[in-house]
Chain A
Amino acid sequence: MTKDRAASLLFLCAGIYGFYFSVQLPMGRWNEPGPGVFPFALSLLLLVSGAAWFIRGKRRVKEEGEGENADRYAFIKNLATPLKIVGLTALLILAFNSVGYLAAASLYIFVLLFWVSRYRVVVSILLALSIGIGSWYFFEKVLAVQLPRGVLFL
């Protein structure tokens, strides 16, 4: 799939979503436009953009041929690290309230440093504890941010 077509799918999905839910909203009249008018118009424009990009993407595949394959390989290869980070951050968010900031953040930093940054275990543990405790002190004590304490009351 080319970049244009990937983008077109994103725009089409957003357009379909907006269109489907905006038609369910009151449209009002021209002298008193309802809450559905603006999102309806935006969704239509998004659908048109998405369709145009899909066609452009198809044309580019024909024009550029194999050159696109190397690009695509590099594109996917580069995704590995960011996806690891996103996945770990999602887990941190899920555990944020129940585990508590100090434990969850320290564990999160440890896994990032060990798995993504490729530090040794001991270095990762030391850095994770320093960053975890340091950031907790800075946010909770210096900036007075109310952080979750979780089941461990940390």
Chain B
Amino acid sequence: MDVINNLYIGFQTALTFQNLYLCFIGCLWGTMVGILPGIGPVAGITLLIPATFGLSATSALIMLAGIYYGAMYGGSTTSILMNVPGESASVVTCIDGYQMTLKGRGGAALFISAWGSWVGGTVSVIGLMLLTPVLADLAVKLGPAEMFAILLLCFILLASLGSGSFFDTIPVILIGLLVCLVGIDSQSGVQRFTHGITDLYDGIGFLPVGMGALGIAEVLRSTEESLVRTVSKVRLRELLPTRQELRSSLGPIIRGSGLGFVIGLLPGSAHILSSFLSYALEKKIARNPEEFGTGRIEGVAGPETANNAASGSALIPLLALGIPTGNAPAVMMIALLIHGVRPGPLLISESPEIFWGLVASMYIGNLVLIILNLPLVGLFVKLLRIPFRILFPIIILVCLVGTYSIKGSTFELGVLLFFGLLGYVLRKLKYDVPPLILALIVGRTMELSFRQSLMRSGGSFSIFWESPVAMGLILVSFFLISWNIYRALRPQKASWEKALEEG
């Protein structure tokens, strides 16, 4: 009953004119950034953070979440029509989606993709609504030792399941943790790595680092590529799938929803991993797996459903534990922190309107997106005609003004540019950048938990194995580290590992 009452309150919040409008704007902008290659959901969210400064935290979160799942919807359009993934989770959709376009079934692929995205998105919102309060209740009971163990496991999982290799990701996490320590230590008041620069006393801001390492770095990388494209036209009547296509897509959509939801709870590139795993699963259980890659609807339905389900469930660790497990949730956490709201176990009890307003808006947003994505697909595709050589200076300018607007300091702009360059260099060297941002955001909590644990135990490390939860999590972390060492030393890799790496 509690859930229904709370959801009712959530709908009262989400159905105000302002929040409906913001949800619509978020979904529209999200679809646009999902369609445009070179601007992913992260850049899309960061670009609109400055626009949320005049809004309440609830309204800001509703709009930013709309961008997040809107980009997941929009990302499939370019994959299907142009063989260019709008965002990384749609890479696998290119394989069969584009083949369907070549066969004149691009419209049907778009319809099934939007339908699957709606089902996956709705399943993940139901899971988010039911699981987050339970997880938050459990998290309130955790002490610093358990918190440290959770964050340790989170980083180990991030390194194990991210798009880079384990040993490539660990140093990036370490750099992020080191960067987050800059500023005055909250426990002792000692200045760390500030070198007398007053702008560094409060630490390095999340927004310039996030906008730089994710937004500016993405723009810099995109300017390396040629952006000449051909776009296939889609007519509305071509959107309707045949009865056979509808029947074939039902199973992949159901399996993709479940798989995506579970994978989304894991740290790392969950939405990318979920789409690849869903594709692999569909191919594995298909009667004629050799037909995959020639335009099978299952190759579109499963991955698209899975990545949308994963993007919804990725918000659960953020809202219940205050741990962003992906780059888009990390940027949303930055936005919430700017609004003075700290996501975590106390969020639902202290600010129920934010959580339940978000849940209700996600139901509405999913409906808005299916309405936006089907009839207006032709209009969105026209966006691809805007040359990127005009778009990129505007994106950089928005990042600069967005950063400047927080403190009015050009020092922050320097930080933005420095981390933009660092993010770009790391990408060039094939390193994963999001772990740096995640480490930066939760690093101080990790340090605080570690120090508080030792203070509580009088300096004894036994506190980490006296609690069964902490011990269990630390054991899992050690197991994963050992497994990764074994994988690195083993000369031959399993076929699924090779497929994932190639993907």
Is B223 a contact partner of A109 (Cβ separation < 8 A)?
no
Complex CA distance for A101 and B413, rounded to whole angstroms: 13
Whole-angstrom distance between the Cβ of A113 and the nearest chain B Cβ = 7
Chain A CB within 8 A of B450 CB? yes
Is A145 a contact partner of B220 (Cβ separation < 8 A)?
no
Given that A29-B459, A86-B220, A143-B53 are contacting pairs, would A131 and B394 also be in contact in the complex, using a CB cutoff of 8 Å?
A: yes
Whole-angstrom distance between the Cβ of B436 and the nearest chain A Cβ = 11
Chain A CB within 8 A of B420 CB? yes
Chain B CB within 8 A of A153 CB? no
> 1/0 per residue B175-203: CB within 8 Å of A?
10110010001011010110000000000
Is A39 a contact partner of B192 (Cβ separation < 8 A)?
yes
Complex CA distance for A38 and B426, rounded to whole angstroms: 24
Given that A75-B428, A82-B220 are contacting pairs, would A11 and B390 also be in contact in the complex, using a CB cutoff of 8 Å?
A: no
Given that A10-B425, A32-B455, A75-B428 are contacting pairs, would A49 and B393 also be in contact in the complex, using a CB cutoff of 8 Å?
A: no
Total interface residues in chain A, CB < 8 Å: 62
Whole-angstrom distance between the Cβ of A29 and the nearest chain B Cβ = 6
Closest B residue to A112 using CB positions: B393
Is A109 a contact partner of B425 (Cβ separation < 8 A)?
no
Is B454 a contact partner of A33 (Cβ separation < 8 A)?
yes
- Residues from chain A with a CB closer than 8 A to the CB of B428 are 3, 75, 78-79
Given that A10-B425, A29-B459, A35-B185 are contacting pairs, would A146 and B408 also be in contact in the complex, using a CB cutoff of 8 Å?
A: yes
Closest B residue to A93 using CB positions: B413
Closest B residue to A22 using CB positions: B192
- Residues from chain A with a CB closer than 8 A to the CB of B430 are 3
Is B431 a contact partner of A7 (Cβ separation < 8 A)?
yes
Whole-angstrom distance between the Cβ of B453 and the nearest chain A Cβ = 10
Complex CA distance for A127 and B174, rounded to whole angstroms: 43
Whole-angstrom distance between the Cβ of B213 and the nearest chain A Cβ = 14
* Chain B stretch 27-66: residues in CB contact (< 8 A) with chain A: 50-51, 53-54
Closest B residue to A123 using CB positions: B390
**Interface of chain B, helix or strand or loop or mixed?**
helix
Tell me the number of A-to-B contacts counted with CB atoms below 8 Å.
Answer: 158
Complex CA distance for A35 and B421, rounded to whole angstroms: 29
Is B400 a contact partner of A92 (Cβ separation < 8 A)?
yes
- Residues from chain B with a CB closer than 8 A to the CB of A85 are 219-220, 223, 392, 396
Is A113 a contact partner of B414 (Cβ separation < 8 A)?
no
- Residues from chain B with a CB closer than 8 A to the CB of A118 are 389
A31 interface neighbour in B185, B400, B413, B455, Cβ under 8 Å: B455
Chain B CB within 8 A of A42 CB? yes
A53 interface neighbour in B171, B190, B400, Cβ under 8 Å: B171
- Residues from chain A with a CB closer than 8 A to the CB of B192 are 21-22, 25, 35, 39
Given that A82-B224, A105-B397 are contacting pairs, would A38 and B447 also be in contact in the complex, using a CB cutoff of 8 Å?
A: yes
Is B410 a contact partner of A93 (Cβ separation < 8 A)?
yes
B171 interface neighbour in A26, A35, A46, A127, Cβ under 8 Å: A46
Whole-angstrom distance between the Cβ of B85 and the nearest chain A Cβ = 20
Whole-angstrom distance between the Cβ of A147 and the nearest chain B Cβ = 7
- Residues from chain B with a CB closer than 8 A to the CB of A96 are 400, 404, 410, 413
Closest A residue to B451 using CB positions: A33
Closest B residue to A101 using CB positions: B401
> 1/0 per residue A10-46: CB within 8 Å of B?
1100100010011001100111111101110011011
Complex CA distance for A108 and B414, rounded to whole angstroms: 16
Whole-angstrom distance between the Cβ of A36 and the nearest chain B Cβ = 8
Complex CA distance for A106 and B175, rounded to whole angstroms: 36
Given that A86-B420, A109-B397, A135-B401 are contacting pairs, would A43 and B178 also be in contact in the complex, using a CB cutoff of 8 Å?
A: yes
Chain A CB within 8 A of B458 CB? yes
Is B178 a contact partner of A14 (Cβ separation < 8 A)?
yes
Complex CA distance for A37 and B446, rounded to whole angstroms: 13
Is B389 a contact partner of A116 (Cβ separation < 8 A)?
yes
Chain B CB within 8 A of A97 CB? yes
Chain A CB within 8 A of B170 CB? yes
Is A90 a contact partner of B417 (Cβ separation < 8 A)?
yes
Closest A residue to B428 using CB positions: A75
Chain A CB within 8 A of B18 CB? no
- Most chain A beta-carbon neighbours within 10 Å: one of B221, B414, B459: B459
Chain A CB within 8 A of B429 CB? yes
> 1/0 per residue B158-172: CB within 8 Å of A?
000000000110110
Chain A CB within 8 A of B248 CB? no
- Residues from chain A with a CB closer than 8 A to the CB of B405 are 139, 143, 145-146
- Residues from chain A with a CB closer than 8 A to the CB of B389 are 113, 116-119
Is B397 a contact partner of A81 (Cβ separation < 8 A)?
no
Is A89 a contact partner of B396 (Cβ separation < 8 A)?
yes
> 1/0 per residue A122-154: CB within 8 Å of B?
000001000100010001000111110000000
- Residues from chain A with a CB closer than 8 A to the CB of B24 are none
Whole-angstrom distance between the Cβ of B195 and the nearest chain A Cβ = 9
Whole-angstrom distance between the Cβ of A10 and the nearest chain B Cβ = 7
Chain B CB within 8 A of A6 CB? yes
Q: A49-B171, A105-B397 given. 6 additional CB < 8 A pairs?
A: A21-B192, A35-B185, A42-B181, A89-B400, A118-B389, A139-B401
Can you show 20 pairs from A to B with CB atoms below 8 A apart? A7-B426, A14-B178, A26-B190, A29-B459, A30-B459, A32-B454, A35-B192, A38-B451, A42-B177, A46-B174, A49-B174, A53-B171, A81-B224, A89-B400, A89-B417, A96-B400, A101-B401, A113-B389, A135-B397, A139-B50
* Partner-B contacts on A (CB < 8 A): 3, 6-7, 10-11, 14, 18, 21-22, 25-26, 29-35, 37-39, 42-43, 45-46, 49-50, 52-53, 75, 78-79, 81-82, 85-86, 89-90, 92-94, 96-97, 101, 105, 108-109, 112-113, 116-119, 127, 131, 135, 139, 143-147
3 shortest A-B CB distances, which residue pairs? A30-B459, A31-B459, A117-B389
